[in-house]
Amino acid sequence: MSEFRIDQIKSQDASRGPDVAGITTFTGTSGIVMPSGDTAYRGGRGRFVMVGGFTPAALNTMDYVTISSTGNAVDFGDASIILYMGAGTASSTRGLFHGFEGSPASRNNQIDYITIQSTGNSFDFGDLTKQSQGSSGASSDGIRAVFQLGWNSDGTASLADIDRVTIATLGNASYFGDLTVARNTGKGGFSSPTRGFFAGGQTPVVNTIDYVTIASTGDAVDFGDIAQGAYREGTGCSNSTRGLMASGSSGGDGDGQTISYITMSSSGNSITFGDLSADVELAAGGASATRGLFGGGTTPVKINTISYVTIATTGDSVDFGDRTINVYGAAGLTDAHGGLGD
* Adjacent-strand bridge partners of 213: 195
Sign of dihedral through CA atoms 279, 284, 288, 289?
A: positive
Fold that domain 48-340 belongs to in CATH: Neuraminidase (2.120.10)
pLDDT number for residue 41: 41
Angle at 98 between CA 93 and CA 102, to 5 degrees: 135
Q: Give the CA diameter of the chain.
A: 80
**Shortest CA distance to 124 belongs to which of 111, 143, 109, 106?**
111
Q: Give the distance, in angstroms, between the CA of residue 203 and the centroid of all CA atoms in the same chain.
A: 24
- On the 0-12 / 13-18 / 19+ scale of CB atoms within 10 A, 300 is middle
Q: In what order do the strands lie in the sheet with 291-298?
A: 284-287, 291-298, 302-310, 318-322
Query: What does the alpha-carbon distance between residue 285 and residue 90 come to, in Å, rounded to a whole number?
Result: 13
The full set of domain ranges for the chain reads 48-340
Contacts made by residues 111-118, CB under 8 angstroms, sequence distance 24+: 111/147, 111/165, 111/173, 112/79, 112/80, 112/81, 113/170, 114/49, 114/62, 114/76, 114/77, 116/47, 116/49, 116/90, 116/333, 116/334, 116/335, 117/43, 117/44, 117/45, 117/47, 117/93, 117/335
CB 273 within 8 Å of CB 244: yes
Verdict on whether the full-model pTM lies above 0.75: yes
What residues in the chain have per-residue pLDDT under 70?
A: 1-44, 101-106, 133-136, 153-155, 230, 251-255
Query: What does the alpha-carbon distance between residue 67 and residue 333 come to, in Å, rounded to a whole number?
Result: 11
18 — phi, psi (to 5°)? -80, 160
CB 262 within 8 Å of CB 270: yes
